[in-house]
């Protein structure tokens, strides 16, 4: 804990950090915390799992006063990330007696309204935050800290207009902290528009490149499922994550894997919040789980000890790809990322490989048995307020703070 003590944190926060099990700060924490305590705006480049919640949370916890209104707003792209950030902040603030409110769609709004009445810190998704602003159940006039967590993902999901409208409801005099896995031109534009002389902090990837083996197979479409099943049968140790680009493909994979005695769990935005939480619990307790999901898994969940990442559908660009493979080869452990590239993946794969920092080696296609598959009937997935938090909000009407809805 000596390294944390050098960051000039209070004894209460140090005690909470020690209880969580942290012994020394990560790179992003070591570089960010002193600057945030000085009141600097931060533009941080850091991946999921690097410890950025404490990096921005330390300053907020130290400077937030109990019962003085909502003083900090943290925007995240998904419900899962909202829950994860809130959980971590509650652990770190356990000796500060602060009230932290989680605001996201897919659940009843009533308990959230009650929570907001007493909250000191709010963590939420843009869609549901705007819902509360429109209902006048949330006021941001006392916000002193604004955090945009995984800002690149929020932009990818079409939340830029929502985010800007929320920013406009916050006081001009505030400290703004923006974190993103990659610093694109759009992120730089956002930072220049809403931040004051931000300090740019870039840290090395949490993933150890020397421990991560990236390979791909150029596979005919009709062999793709059979190749995946063959590879999964050979690798039954550790937690395995398989990524698809659509919910339909996740269900197709899980159903057909089960037909060939490979048990797999599906997780995507179409499932109820309760179901998704149950699957997360199983993955934490059973380290031999195969988890089939969409990119929401890569961004919103802190799932540890992943041994293999499979891209059944190729990520659309290098940013998505990096987030996916960033689930393995952590904390000095070995990891393997395997991409199955068929004809329909070639454009996406070309986009990924345009990032020349990625070292992806081609593997020879093994001889495998072609397995029969069953195509699923189309189903629709619905959940309350799902579209509000997980789709582009281009058609949302302008928010007028003076018109009660």
pLDDT in tens, 201-254: 988 655 566 678 899 999 999 999 999 999 998 876 678 899 999 889 999 999
Among 1.10.3430.10, 3.40.1790.10, 3.40.50.880, 3.40.50.300, name the CATH number for the domain at 209-362: 3.40.50.300
Greater confidence (69 vs 303) lies with: 69
The pLDDT confidence band at residue 271, using thresholds 50, 70 and 90, is confident
Give yes or no for a contact between 106 and 79, defined as CB atoms under 8 angstroms apart: yes
Where exactly are the structural domains of the chain? 2-202, 209-362
pLDDT in tens, 82-94: 988 999 999 999 9
| 349 against 273, higher pLDDT | 349
Q: Does domain 2-202 have CATH number 3.40.50.300?
A: yes
Is residue 332 predicted with pLDDT exceeding 80?
A: no
Q: 194: Cβ–Cβ under 8 A, 6 or more apart, which residues? A: 164, 167, 176
Q: Which residue has the higher pLDDT, 370 or 49?
A: 370
What is the predicted pLDDT for the residue at 388?
43
- Lowest pLDDT segment from 75-89, 241-255, 283-297: 283-297
- Overall average pLDDT of the 169-196 stretch: 93
Sheet holding 239-243, edge to edge: 265-267, 290-293, 239-243, 306-311, 335-341, 212-218, 361-362
* pLDDT value of position 119: 97
User: Once rounded to an integer, what is the mean pLDDT over residues 179-207?
Assistant: 87
Phi first, then psi: give them for residue 6, nearest 5 degrees: -70, -15
Whether residue 54 is predicted with pLDDT greater than 80 in this model: the reply is yes
pLDDT digits (tens, 9 = 90+) for 311-321: 999 998 887 88
Contact 359, 352 (CB under 8 A): no
Domains 2-202 and 209-362 belong to one CATH topology: yes
| pTM of the full structure | 0.66
Confidence of residue 385 (pLDDT cuts 50, 70, 90): very low
Confidence of residue 116 (pLDDT cuts 50, 70, 90): very high
| pLDDT value of position 288 | 66
Q: Return d(Cα 80, Cα 302) in angstroms, integer.
A: 9
């Amino acid at each position: 804990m000596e390294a944390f003590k050098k960051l000039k944190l209070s004894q209460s926060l140090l005690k909470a950090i020690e209880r969580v099990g942290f012994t020394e700060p990560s790179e992003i924490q070591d570089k960010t915390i002193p600057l945030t305590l000085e009141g600097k705006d931060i533009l941080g480049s850091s991946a999921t799992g690097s410890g950025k919640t404490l990096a921005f949370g330390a300053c907020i916890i130290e400077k937030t006063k109990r019962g003085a209104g909502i003083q900090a707003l943290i925007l995240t792209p998904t419900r899962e990330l909202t829950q994860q950030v809130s959980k971590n902040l509650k652990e770190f603030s356990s000796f500060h007696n602060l009230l932290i409110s989680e605001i996201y769609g897919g659940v009843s709004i009533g308990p959230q309204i009650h929570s907001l009445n007493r909250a000191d810190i709010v963590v939420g998704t843009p869609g549901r935050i705007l819902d509360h602003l429109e209902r006048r159940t949330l006021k941001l006039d006392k916000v002193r800290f604004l955090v945009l967590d995984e800002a690149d993902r929020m932009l990818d999901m079409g939340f830029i207009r929502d985010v800007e409208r929320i920013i406009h409801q916050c006081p001009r005099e505030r400290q703004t902290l923006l974190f993103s896995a990659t610093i694109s031109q759009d992120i730089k534009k956002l930072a220049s528009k809403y931040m004051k002389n931000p300090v740019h902090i870039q840290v090395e990837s949490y993933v150890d490149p020397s421990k991560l083996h990236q390979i791909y197979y150029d596979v005919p479409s009709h062999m793709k499922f059979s190749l995946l099943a063959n590879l999964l049968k050979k690798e039954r140790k550790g937690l395995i994550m398989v990524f698809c680009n659509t919910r339909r493909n996740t269900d197709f994979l899980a159903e057909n894997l089960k037909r060939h005695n490979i048990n797999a769990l599906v997780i995507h935005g179409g499932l109820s919040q309760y179901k998704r939480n149950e699957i997360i619990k199983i993955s934490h307790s059973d380290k031999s789980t195969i988890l089939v999901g969409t990119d929401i898994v890569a961004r919103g969940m802190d799932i540890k000890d992943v041994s293999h990442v499979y891209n059944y559908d190729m990520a659309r660009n290098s940013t998505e790809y990096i987030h996916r493979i960033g689930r393995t080869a952590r904390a000095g452990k070995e990891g393997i990322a395997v991409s199955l590239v068929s004809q329909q993946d070639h454009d996406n794969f070309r986009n990924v490989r345009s990032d020349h920092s990625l070292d992806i080696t081609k593997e020879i296609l093994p001889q495998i048995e072609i397995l029969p598959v069953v195509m699923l009937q189309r189903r629709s997935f619905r959940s309350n307020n799902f579209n509000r938090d997980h789709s582009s909000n281009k058609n949302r009407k302008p928010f007028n703070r003076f018109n009660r809805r």
